[in-house]
Amino acid sequence: MIDLLELDGPNPWHTQSTRVVFDDGHFVLREDAVTQPDGQPGSYVYLEVRKPVVSVVPVDADGNVYLVRQWRYPWGRNSWEIPGGTCEAGETPLDAAQRELGEEVGVRASDWEPLGTGYSSASVNAHWHTFLAHGLEPIQPGRYQRDGGEHDMVARRVSLAVAVAAAMDGRIAHGMSALGLLRAARRLGI
């Protein structure tokens, strides 16, 4: 049987050189000249996100989760997602998750559990931290300000079971949101 959790092993890729194509302080687009696992030369282009990324699965006492809908410019469509964003200077991932929950949903949580970390894609190097939040209560309006690209954002509360079904059938297409919902459902026994 194959051990799907075995991550150790030699790196079959060899980087010959790295060229920064673009760097705006938040994102770096790199092109690496590499020797591929088959021994042939090649190139690998990837985006590096300079700040850690966070997401939150906020679940209330009734088993409902808050999702946010926002326009995703590169996809040309709206997307339902769990709240999230990037760490600001000096913030821990938990600090950022707490801030993002307030900004995007207008609630705070008294209990936080880490749901693990991960990466969003093989071509995007962004270290992602996901949290489960309980003990939700509304915060004073205006305490947090949404980012400029979030002014059209809508927050809705749905049952966690409905959100998981939406992740499974593709209505929630944002990968880290789907993963966060599945991890939360497993943690909560749903």
Considering the domain architecture, whether residues 101 and 166 belong to the same structural domain is answered as: yes
What is the Cα Rg of the chain in Å? Answer: 19
Q: How many whole angstroms from its chain centre is CA 5?
A: 22
Residue 102 maps to a domain: yes
pLDDT score of 136 more than 70: yes
Asked if 115 and 183 touch (Cβ cutoff 8 Å), the reply is yes
Considering the domain architecture, whether residues 172 and 130 belong to the same structural domain is answered as: yes
- How many CA atoms within 13 Å lie on the side-chain side of 87? 18
Residue 111 maps to a domain: yes
Q: What is the pLDDT at residue 184?
A: 98
Considering the domain architecture, whether residues 33 and 69 belong to the same structural domain is answered as: no
Considering the domain architecture, whether residues 79 and 161 belong to the same structural domain is answered as: yes
Considering the domain architecture, whether residues 153 and 82 belong to the same structural domain is answered as: yes
Considering the domain architecture, whether residues 138 and 66 belong to the same structural domain is answered as: yes
User: CA-CA distances (angstroms) from residue 122 to 2, 86, 127?
Assistant: 22, 19, 11
Owning domain of residue 29: 14-49
Count each helix (H run) and each strand (E run) in the chain, helices first.
Answer: 3, 10
Q: What is the pLDDT at residue 91?
A: 96
Residue 33 maps to a domain: yes
Q: 98-103 long-range contacts, Cβ below 8 Å, gap at least 24?
A: 99/144, 100/54, 100/55, 100/56, 101/56, 101/58, 101/133, 102/139, 102/143, 102/144, 103/144, 103/145, 103/146, 103/147, 103/150
The mean pLDDT of the chain is: 92
Q: With H, G, I as helix, E, B as strand and everything else as coil, classify residue 176.
A: helix
Residue 107 maps to a domain: yes
Confidence of residue 120 (pLDDT cuts 50, 70, 90): confident
Confidence of residue 15 (pLDDT cuts 50, 70, 90): very high
pLDDT score of 1 more than 80: no
pLDDT score of 75 more than 60: yes
CB neighbour burial string for 15-47, b if at least 16 within 10 angstroms, e if fewer: eeeeeeeeeeeeebebebebeeeeeeeeeeeeb
Amino acid at 54: V
Q: What is the pLDDT of residues 43-59, one digit of tens each?
A: 999 999 999 999 999 99
Considering the domain architecture, whether residues 183 and 133 belong to the same structural domain is answered as: yes
Report the CATH number at residue 61: 3.90.79.10
Q: How many domains does the structure of the chain reveal?
A: 2
Considering the domain architecture, whether residues 58 and 108 belong to the same structural domain is answered as: yes
Predicted TM-score (pTM) of this structure = 0.88
Considering the domain architecture, whether residues 141 and 166 belong to the same structural domain is answered as: yes
Residue 2 maps to a domain: no
pLDDT score of 145 more than 70: no
pLDDT score of 71 more than 80: yes
> Which residues does residue 137 pair with via DSSP β-bridges, in sequence order?
108
Question: In terms of Cα–Cα distance, which of 177, 51, 38 is closest to 104?
Answer: 177
Confidence of residue 148 (pLDDT cuts 50, 70, 90): low
Considering the domain architecture, whether residues 60 and 137 belong to the same structural domain is answered as: yes
Considering the domain architecture, whether residues 73 and 42 belong to the same structural domain is answered as: no
Q: How far apart are the first and last CA of the chain?
A: 28
Considering the domain architecture, whether residues 59 and 101 belong to the same structural domain is answered as: yes
Confidence of residue 158 (pLDDT cuts 50, 70, 90): very high
